[in-house]
Structure 1
């Protein structure tokens, strides 16, 4: 046998050749060294490959850089948004904190008010048998004061028709009134106890005043009111007087807002006021518009109060007259602006009290005699020191027992500023209450961005009912105020008593005397007889003074003013509306021209008709003069080098001294040469050393000067 592995034959094994070649095919053989040109070619390829790799890498890096840049920009924008959002959140957070603080303060304030109200209600319910103490009102506790007043009035009744006792002293009258009231009330309430009584109104022995009866509790008053009909039947059995009992009503103030004057609710049984901030009454046409407004009201406007009149002097003030009114005024001389005026109807007996201008703040006071009422007009300039003004204002208010005050105070009642609070406290300390309604709807000055109450009315009248109307007007940037005070009867029209001849009796007297005495030819005795008979047959007659004529004012003019005011109100609500602005400007200019043209044409036509008839001309002049107040519409006042004099006796004394000394003063101014030799006065050769006898010729004709006169 032949061993396959152990054969030592020297011949190669060719059977394994194919297998060996297949196994060695994967072995890398070492190449021969390439020549130089082959290496350069390979290096070039290698370089191109490297460059391609670098270019591709560069493009990739560029794209990556752009992407990163965009991402960074986006991050920056997001950071800006985050920052803005953060700032907004911080602002909102601060606002929320402030609102929370305000709400906290409001809650605390309301809790204090609720607690005070609860204490007050508890006191009212627990002290029915004792008198209710009047608590000092706090700054914002008007509701508590109102509750107290209503509680006090609910214990009162008013008895009408109980005759007044005819005794001399007021104390005795009160005692008898109390006894009579107790006797009458026992018919329905035998156990009632009258706490006190008071007659309402001024004492007049010829009249019977209502009697206010106060009880200890509300139940007694309610019981009497429920059974008053039974009481009337019982009273008729005792006496013949017609006695009635009514509830003691609480005085109220009603309000309205008007676009024109004809829509305002008015009463003939009240005293009526009109207040306006005019911003220069001396401006052409404004005084005429005030006259038109006065004629518009169906009732008499007794008092017209104006602020910011801008009057500069006495002569200017004396020209600003309104028919049948007396003009009181106070003005500043240091600079333009300010000033107050009060026009009082001559049906009311009135007198000047006081005027003052200090730090360009104005105070003017008058007195209405029959009503025993003081009327004040106040103006505070915006830049005035509030503390000093309030101190001065307080001294004026403290002097007045019964007063109504109108004024442009330039303190906003809708504001919570410290100065406004001090102003309200000052009024309450002096016993005055504001009649303005403190809400934006009843503001007295309105712009496109704000609503304020700068014009105030206050009073210390306790038992009167008021009606106030806010009137839209473009006369200035302030609204006008109409105030009506009820329960004050205005003075009746004046009665003139005069002597008149009864001609029927005169004729009979003369005929009898002439027949009996045969006086046909005795003229002297006839004259004596006529004078004697006229004196004998005079009788007293009475007539009512005629109201002043309307002159040139007509309904179309009033209608034009109302339309202008309505357009003005629309423009203030939307100041960017050009259409409304143009309409308002056109209507304003038309109203101004129409008012002036109508006035000029009225007087021109009146005189034109009598141009060739002197008799009719004088009749027209007399009728125009009769339409004006005969007495001066300016109160007695005289400015002297030593100051202003208002007392009539002092004015008369000053005139007496002036005219008694004027002769010697003028004589002392004549040069001495004329004293020594009077012939020098007529000498042609004299040398004039002064202008005593020198008159320069006028260069302007009188006719030209008269034509330039203003009609208003």
Structure 2
């Protein structure tokens, strides 16, 4: 499964279904798969290893390992020791995964002690020191993160969640890439403060405005600039910008109501209580509530789509769109190249250079194609094959009523231009600005010049 903005590295089982190991790496980072350290050994282990290239710092080797439960621990230790023998001590090493070896109770088990010795002998030390799998009777540490970067500030821990019977583990290497973490500010939008009184005042000012600067201009671009400037000036006067905080919307799962969200929080709290108390009563209470919540979510989802399909039963196109959103697991991951080749030898990997090449191609494509057309030896021969059309076509001037009728057919969409003006506002003021706008349209037809800001 792909994640937007991340590159996926996997090693999948060949002779068995399911399983496998995977690493997601931010596409901002340059990395590659280390094939000699990535393999599947049936009934023993699965491993995928990558190397992240870091400028002005040591490269990072990351291995994700899964050891099959009950497999020969001696064989696993031998394979692990052979893999670590290829590592460069100067590089940062991070080994993570599900090893199915309990590090909390190593005493009395020689193979577990041998595993710990293998890790320590390669200067790999654990980041996670608390149990990652907790039941009523047991608490074991079988999911680890090892690293040789012990001189760096590392924050490691467990996430308390019931998405799996193993608690997810994490490790954060503070500022290793030299990028300081910025505090996230509250997200907000700047929109015009529109009220019925403000729009009415805007209409009055537009009606009384002197459009001389527009009508006196014989250049369509300059006339439109003056026209737009006047509208923006009056709009900002009556509808000044105000800060609106964005609210969290559940658009991706609209069947998850506020009540279900509160129930999910309660379910998570019950799971935390079970993890702390580890009693049979706490486990039963958590599981009963969880099962009930799962049924409620399924019912809510079913009712949501049933209502949605009923509302659009006469709209075939919308019905198929809804069905596709249910059936399809998600859009296919699109991998676009991060570089381009020019003239087969020159590699362009900078965004600005790539954009300039695209611009140069599309600007000159017509001219370059025209140069390849061979010139006719005798132009008079072409006239023999051209049928003269006795009729002519004329374009009449744009009228005020024509513009108003066209504008009224547009939908009241919330999308705005760079000035914060949407179609709903345009429809409310079109009758007061139609005269100068009609002049600009007819001026554009007459001069053959389309206003630059309308492109």
TM-score (norm 2): 0.46
Q: Which protein is bigger by CA-based radius of gyration?
A: 1
